[in-house]
Each structure stands twice: as structure tokens, then as C-alpha cells.
Amino acid sequence: METLSLSPHADHAPDRVSAVSASVIGLDRNWLRVRWRVADSAGVVVPPFAGKARADGLWQRTCFELFLRSPGSAAYVELNLSPSEEWAAYDFSGYRAGMAERAMPHSPDGTIRRGGNVLIFDASVPMAGLPPLPWDVGISAVIEEQGGTRSLWALRYGPGQADFHAPACFAARLAAPDGS
């Protein structure tokens, strides 16, 4: 998958962050690896280290998110990945319906790096905890900046309020890699 540019929602614009992009940097039978890149990130608030643990409400601070569904299906998976190393995984039977914790064989990994005025967040998610490929994908981010600004970034939005669960947000397609 190529590098995808995320757009801020008009109602949740950034203060200083100028761009957020995401790309799948690895995909095999064991791992899905995704990288988010945040430009002009000097003022981004990174949640403090909390250790690998399942946690709710991660979207209230800087958090990186994936939404995965099988093409033609209403059911989907939501993954919330925090730079604190906390994470969450949920199943939905339809649009914001039937939410349940998704079992994962072990915790996803997350690594954050800062250099210059760029923040990079890399996440590795065990494929054994994800539905079979191919997927319609929604990639998003919540970016908290000093001063309390919280911007919302996604590939695409539906009409109205920012809602990463909206069907319009599943704007990319990811197929199984050749030879797998």
C-alpha cells in the first residue's frame, strides 16, 4: 500500500501539525506493520509510557487507529494504538453496533520516534488477531497538541461530524501479499 495522506476534519483542525500520513510497511502471515508520520510535531503531546496493556478511551489523547472490514461486510474491527504502548481491539457487527472486545493472541507493539520536527509511530499487529484478507481499511489518528488542541485525521469522512466508524472512512483496500 502506498503512503496515504490523511486529512484533518474541518471541525477538529490542528494547531501546528501540518500533515499526517500512513502506510503499511510490512504484511506477512504473522504481522501487519503500519507507520504513521506526523509533520510539524514539536507541540504534539505524547501519552506517557504505561506498558503493554489493553485500555479503553485511548482516542482521548494522541492515538493511532485502524479500522478493518471484509469487502461487502457490515462487520468490522477497530484497533486503537497508543504511543503509551496501551492498545485496544474491538469487534463491531455493524456501524457502531454490537461492540465487543476482540481477542488478540498477544499485545500489538508500538514504537514512537521523534527527529527534527517529525514524529513517527510504527505499530505491529499480530495477523492471528485479525480477520482474513482482503480488507477495506480506514486509517486515522487523533493528535493532541500542547494547549489542548485535539485534531482528528482520516483518509476520508462521511458528511457531518467526524466519525472514524462511518462507512465512507473505509477508503483503502489491502489485499494479501503475493505468495502468502
Q: Which domains does the chain have, with CATH numbers?
A: 4-174 (2.60.40.1190)
Question: What is the model's pTM?
Answer: 0.95
Task: Say how many C-beta atoms besides its own lie within 10 A of residue 128's C-beta.
Answer: 12
- Per-residue pLDDT in tens (0 to 9) along the chain, 180 residues: 689 999 999 999 999 999 999 999 999 999 999 999 999 999 999 999 999 999 999 999 999 999 999 999 999 999 999 999 999 999 999 999 999 999 999 999 999 999 889 999 999 999 999 999 999 999 999 999 999 999 999 999 999 999 999 999 999 999 987 655
Q: What is the DSSP letter of 44?
A: B
The answer to whether the CB of 42 falls within 8 A of the CB of 18 is no
Query: How far apart, in whole angstroms, are the C-alpha atoms of residue 40 and residue 136?
Result: 29
Cα 92 to Cα 79, 102, 129, 136, 162: the distances in Å are 11, 9, 14, 14, 18
Residue 93 backbone dihedrals phi, psi, to 5 degrees: -80, -20
